[in-house]
Amino acid sequence: MKPVAASASFRYIGKQRRTKEDPRFVTGRGRFVADIALPGMKHVALVTSPHASARIKAIRTETALTMEGVRYVLTGEELCANVDPLYVGVDAPKVHRYPLARDVVRYAGEWVVAVVADSRALAEDAAEKIEIDYEPTPYILDPEKAILPGALLVHPDHGSNVLFRRKFVWGPVEEDFARSEHTLSFRARWGRSATVPIETFGVAAQWHPGTQLLDVWASIQMPKFPDQTARALRLPGNAVRVHFDVDVGGSYGVKRGIKHTVLVGYLARRLGMPVRFIEDRLENMRGGDMHGPDRIFDMTVAFDADGTIRSLKIRALDDVGAYAGRSPLQLGKPVGAIVGPYRINSVEYEPISVLTNKTAQEAVRGFGQAPTNYAIETAIDRVARHLGMDRVELRKKNFIAKDQFPYLIPSGSTYDSGDYVTVLDKALDAVKFNELVATRDAARKAGRLAGIGIATCLEPSGGNSAFEPLFNPKNQTTTWMDSCLVRVDISGAITGVMNTSTSGQGHETLVSTVLGEVLERDPDSIRVVHADSLNALPSNSPVGSRMAIMLGGAAAGAAKKIKATLMAIAAHNLGVPESALEYRDGNVVPKTGAGKGLTWDRLVEIAHRNFHLLPKGMEPGLQAKFVWEVPTGGGLPTADGRIQMYPCYSFEAHLVLVEIDPLTAQPKILRYVCGHDCGTMINPSIVHGMTYGGIAHGIGAALYEKFAFSDNGQLASQTFMDYLMPSALEVPAVDIVDHCTPSPLTEFGQKGSGEAGYLGAPAAIASAINDALAPLGRSIDELPMTPLALWEKLQGGSTR
C-alpha cells in the first residue's frame, strides 16, 4: 500500500480503509435494475430504424398484437402526442427529440416502435412481426459538410445543422500572434467512443392509480433526472418518485437514460402494469444515445524561440449526431481549463456543435475535457518538436508556478491551487526517466519502434453548470448545489442520507468517512442511505468530478451542525459557556480536563427525550441538513463569455513507454507512471481505483475504441467484437505517484478525481506513438490510433 500525503492530521480521511460498498458486490448481492422483479412486470423490446434517414410511411402492428403474451404496441404517433419533447441543452427549441420516432427517422438504430409483452423473449418475437414501410431519404454524415450553406438538414425546422457556434476571444490574441516568433497549425481528430459500461441502461416503472404516483427504478447518473422525467410525462414533480438506491453498473457519464424512462414511464401509466426495459447490447450501442464527443480540432499556436507559448487558437467541430440533449455543452466545460496547466496569455476558441445522421451524443467522463486536453498536449509536443526542445522542459517552462495560485486564466476561471513542477518531477523520478529514455533508444537502435509519451493536464472538478448560461443565454442557472441529511437516532447511531444514485464512486464510503471525521465516530458504524426523489434534498448527481467536493462538503456541513447542537446542549446542561468546552470523540468535555462532561449517549438522549433540558428554542431530536452551493459558483458569464467554470483543479502527469510491432503495428505499453494531485484524498483506494480505470479507458480511446459508421450511415461497431475495449492483457500495470496540494476552497482540501487518468491518458499514448514514429518522419493525429491506422502509417500511407 502506498503512503498517503498530508493525511496525518486526519483520523479517517486519507487512511487505507475498506469501502462500505464492496462486501455486497463481491457476494453477488448488489441490487441492479435488472435484479428488480415487480409482480406482474411486463417487458419491452424495440423495433429500430434500419435507415440513416427515412420517412415512415406505414406501421402495421396487427400480426404482432395477436401474438402470445403481447400486451401493447406503442408507436411514435401515440407517444409524441402524449409526452413533451426531451430537454435540449442549447437554444434549439425546434430540435425535437422523443423516445420514439414519429414520421421520420434520423439515424440507423433510432427507436421506432416499442412492444410490451409478458417476457422479453415474447416481446422480441412480436417485434419481428412489426412491419414498417420506409421511404429512404438522403442523409448527411460528414460534420464539415453539414455546416456548409445549403447542406441537407437533419432537422429542417431548426434551419441549420449548427446547434451552437460562437467565436470567443479572450485576451489580446491577434497582438500575441503578431508578437510571437513562431506559429504552427495542425488538425487533430478525436474519434467517437464512449465509456460503454458493462451494464446497459435499464429502467423499471410502476404507476399507482390510487395515489397517482409513478415509481421509477433506473440505472442512471443524470442531473435533474426526476424533474425532466416528470416534465416530459406532463406530471407534477411530486408524481414521479425515482429510487436512488438502485446500484448502477458503471456509467462514467453516459447513463442519462431520459428517453428510456419517459418511454417506460408512459407505458407503465398507460397500461396500469409495471413495465421494464433493459437494453440489449445492440439496442445500447446503436440507439442508447451514449456515444461520446466526435471532434475535429484545428489548432494554431503562437510561441517564441525560447519555448514561451503566448497564444492559442482552437476551433473545435463536434459531431453530436441526430439529436441534442446536453451534448453541445461538452464543448462548454473545457472553457474552464482551456489553457491547460500553462501560462498562455490569450485564447481564441470557436466551438461548433453540429447535427448529422448518427446516433446522438451523450456526456462522457470529463464532459469534453479529455479531447481538449489531447488537442492541447498535441500542440505542446508539436511546439517542442518544431523548436527541437525537450518536451519536459517545454512544459516546465510554461507551467503556472506554485506561487502563482489562485491563477486567473484568460477565459475567466481561477485555478485554486497546484504544484505542477513537483508532481511532474515525482513522476519523472518514479519512472526513472533517464533509464526510460535509454530503454527507448536501445529499442530503436535494435531496429524497433519505441516512443515515450508525456501528458500534463488538468481535471476541473466540483461540477458546476456554468456552461449552461454560457451556451444558452435563456438558461440562467447559477446553482448546482448538493446536499446531505444527517440523523442521529435514539440509540446514538448515525445515518447519512444522500440524494442521488451511485455508479461505483463509493459515495457511501465518502459520506461515512466525512461524518466519522467531523463527529469523531467510527465510519464503520455509520450507515449511509440513498433517498428517493420525493424525500431527497437537492442534488445534481455525481457528474463533473464533484462528489468528494460537493457531497463531502455537504456531509461535513451537516455534521458540523450536529456537533454544534451537541456543544450547545452540553453547555446549557453543564452551566458553562461553550468556550470552556471541547468536543472529543463525540463526548463534550471541559477544555481544562477537570470537571464534568457529557457523553455522546447522554447528549443524544437529551436531544431525543428531555425537552426540558434543551436550550430554549432548540428543535428536539438530532438531525441536520446542509445544502451547499458550488464554491466559486453563482456567477453569470460576461459579455465576452468569461465565466468561472468549476472550482477545483486536479493535476496529472503521465509518462508512458510504448513499442510498436513493426510487422503487425500492434502497440504495446511497456511502462506507465501517473503523477496525480487531487488535493486531500478521502479514500486513497477509491481515488487510485478510479485513476487506474480512467487510464484504462483512455488507452481504449487512444488505441482501440471507435463507433465507426459506414458510408451509408450504419454503425459498423455494434458489438464487442467490433468495438474493442482493453482487457487485462492490453492494460499494463500502472504506477500512481500521489501528491497533495490541498484546495483552499474545500473542507478538507479535497479536489475531484472521478475523471482522473482519462483526462491525460489518450494524450500520453498519442504522444508516445508519435515519438515512436518520429524517427520515420511520420506522425498521426487521429484517435483511435488503431493497429490498421498505424500499419498504414508504417507503410507510408496517408495521414487519414
Partner 1 sequence: MSERLYPVTLQVNGERVEAQVSSRQTLVDFLRDSLRLTGTHVGCEHGICGACSILLDGEPVRACLMYAVQAEGCSVTTIEGLALPDGTPGPLQDAFCETHALQCGYCTPAMIIASHALLEANPDPTEAEIRDAIGGNLCRCTGYQQIVEAVQLAASKLAKGPK
Q: How far apart are CB 50 and partner 1 at their closest, in Å? A: 20
Nearer to partner 1, 120 or 165 (CB): 120
- Candidates 322, 696, 702, 769; binder of partner 1 (CB under 8 A) is 696
What is the distance between the alpha carbons of residues 12 and 518, in angstroms, rounded to a whole number?
A: 10
Nearest to 761 by CA among 682, 644, 669, 627: 669
Q: How far apart are CB 367 and partner 1 at their closest, in Å? A: 17
Nearest to 189 by CA among 660, 659, 666, 786: 786
User: Judged by CB under 8 A, does residue 694 bind partner 1?
Assistant: yes
Assign 195 to helix, strand or coil.
coil
Q: Which residues pair with 455 in a beta bridge?
A: 654
**Cα–Cα distance list, 481 to 221, 554, 632, 648, 681 (Å):** 16, 9, 12, 15, 21
Nearer to partner 1, 230 or 248 (CB): 248
What is the distance between the alpha carbons of residues 319 and 110, in angstroms, rounded to a whole number?
A: 17
Which span sits near partner 1 by CB under 8 A: 16-24, 76-84, 450-458, 485-493? 16-24
- Candidates 505, 540, 565, 746; binder of partner 1 (CB under 8 A) is 505
User: Judged by CB under 8 A, does residue 596 bind partner 1?
Assistant: no
> SS3 letters for 741-793?
CCCCCCCCCECCCCCCCCCCHHHHHHHHHHHHHHHHCCCCCEECCCHHHHHHH
Nearer to partner 1, 161 or 691 (CB): 691
Q: How far apart are CB 637 and partner 1 at their closest, in Å? A: 35
- Candidates 89, 99, 109, 197; binder of partner 1 (CB under 8 A) is 197
User: Judged by CB under 8 A, does residue 590 bind partner 1?
Assistant: no
62-81: which residues touch partner 1 (CB under 8 A)?
Answer: 68
User: Judged by CB under 8 A, does residue 503 bind partner 1?
Assistant: yes
Which span sits near partner 1 by CB under 8 A: 356-364, 448-456, 461-469, 730-738? 730-738
Q: How far apart are CB 355 and partner 1 at their closest, in Å? A: 28
> SS3 letters for 11-80?
CCCCCCCCCCCHHHHHCCCCCEHHHCCCCCCEEEEEEECCCCCEEEEEEECHHHHCCCCEEEEEEHHHHH
User: What is the length of the chain?
Assistant: 800
Which span sits near partner 1 by CB under 8 A: 305-313, 443-451, 606-614, 728-736? 728-736
- Candidates 58, 198, 639, 788; binder of partner 1 (CB under 8 A) is 198
Assign 262 to helix, strand or coil.
helix
- Candidates 523, 693, 749, 752; binder of partner 1 (CB under 8 A) is 693
User: Judged by CB under 8 A, does residue 190 bind partner 1?
Assistant: no
- Candidates 3, 8, 28, 592; binder of partner 1 (CB under 8 A) is 28
What is the distance between the alpha carbons of residues 86 and 369, in angstroms, rounded to a whole number?
A: 25
User: Judged by CB under 8 A, does residue 351 bind partner 1?
Assistant: no
Which span sits near partner 1 by CB under 8 A: 21-29, 97-105, 207-215, 454-462? 21-29
Nearer to partner 1, 204 or 734 (CB): 734
| Cβ-contact 675, 737 below 8 angstroms | yes
Q: How far apart are CB 412 and partner 1 at their closest, in Å? A: 34
Assign 703 to helix, strand or coil.
helix
User: Judged by CB under 8 A, does residue 23 bind partner 1?
Assistant: yes
User: Judged by CB under 8 A, does residue 530 bind partner 1?
Assistant: no
DSSP assigned state of 664: T
Q: How far apart are CB 502 and partner 1 at their closest, in Å? A: 8
Nearer to partner 1, 647 or 684 (CB): 684
| Cβ-contact 301, 383 below 8 angstroms | yes
What is the distance between the alpha carbons of residues 268 and 262, in angstroms, rounded to a whole number?
A: 10
**Cα–Cα distance list, 425 to 395, 401, 653, 680 (Å):** 12, 14, 9, 19
- Candidates 434, 579, 592, 719; binder of partner 1 (CB under 8 A) is 719
Here the cell at position 242 is 425515482
- Candidates 333, 697, 739, 793; binder of partner 1 (CB under 8 A) is 697
240-299: which residues touch partner 1 (CB under 8 A)?
Answer: 247-252, 280-281
Q: Looking up cell 472538478, which residue turns up?
A: 461
User: Judged by CB under 8 A, does residue 504 bind partner 1?
Assistant: yes
Task: Give, in degrees to the nearest 5, the angle at Cα 797 between 770 and 436.
Answer: 20
Q: How far apart are CB 365 and partner 1 at their closest, in Å? A: 10
Nearer to partner 1, 530 or 688 (CB): 688
Nearest to 49 by CA among 137, 125, 121, 126: 137
- Candidates 34, 153, 271, 387; binder of partner 1 (CB under 8 A) is 34
What would the x/- binding string for partner 1 be over residues 673 to 692, using CB under 8 A? Answer: ------------xx-xxxxx
- Candidates 59, 529, 670, 725; binder of partner 1 (CB under 8 A) is 725
Rg (CA), the chain: 27
What is the distance between the alpha carbons of residues 575 and 596, in angstroms, rounded to a whole number?
A: 10
Q: Looking up cell 501528458, which residue turns up?
A: 455
Nearest to 551 by CA among 564, 539, 563: 539
100-159: which residues touch partner 1 (CB under 8 A)?
Answer: 121
User: Judged by CB under 8 A, does residue 795 bind partner 1?
Assistant: no
- Candidates 4, 21, 44, 392; binder of partner 1 (CB under 8 A) is 21
What is the distance between the alpha carbons of residues 709 and 191, in angstroms, rounded to a whole number?
A: 11
Q: Which residues pair with 767 in a beta bridge?
A: none
Nearer to partner 1, 284 or 465 (CB): 284
Nearest to 108 by CA among 188, 37, 48: 48
| Cβ-contact 324, 318 below 8 angstroms | no
Nearer to partner 1, 21 or 459 (CB): 21
- Provide the 10 A C-beta neighbour count for residue 530: 18
- β-pairing, 202-208 with 275-278? antiparallel
- Count of residues that bind partner 1 according to CB under 8 A: 59
Nearer to partner 1, 416 or 738 (CB): 738
Here the cell at position 43 is 417487458
Q: How far apart are CB 319 and partner 1 at their closest, in Å? A: 23
Nearest to 433 by CA among 694, 196, 737: 737
User: Judged by CB under 8 A, does residue 3 bind partner 1?
Assistant: no
User: Judged by CB under 8 A, does residue 32 bind partner 1?
Assistant: yes
Nearer to partner 1, 585 or 722 (CB): 722
Here the cell at position 345 is 496569455
Here the cell at position 240 is 414521479
User: Judged by CB under 8 A, does residue 464 bind partner 1?
Assistant: no
Nearer to partner 1, 485 or 715 (CB): 715
What is the distance between the alpha carbons of residues 427 and 408, in angstroms, rounded to a whole number?
A: 26
User: Judged by CB under 8 A, does residue 765 bind partner 1?
Assistant: no
Q: Which residues pair with 275 in a beta bridge?
A: 42, 205
Nearer to partner 1, 252 or 407 (CB): 252
User: Judged by CB under 8 A, does residue 731 bind partner 1?
Assistant: yes
- Candidates 543, 734, 773, 789; binder of partner 1 (CB under 8 A) is 734
Q: How far is CA 668 from the centre of its chain?
A: 28
User: Judged by CB under 8 A, does residue 25 bind partner 1?
Assistant: yes
Binding site for partner 1 (CB under 8 A): 18-19, 21-30, 32, 34-35, 37, 68, 121, 195-200, 247-252, 280-281, 503-506, 685-686, 688-697, 719-721, 725, 727-729, 731, 733-734, 757
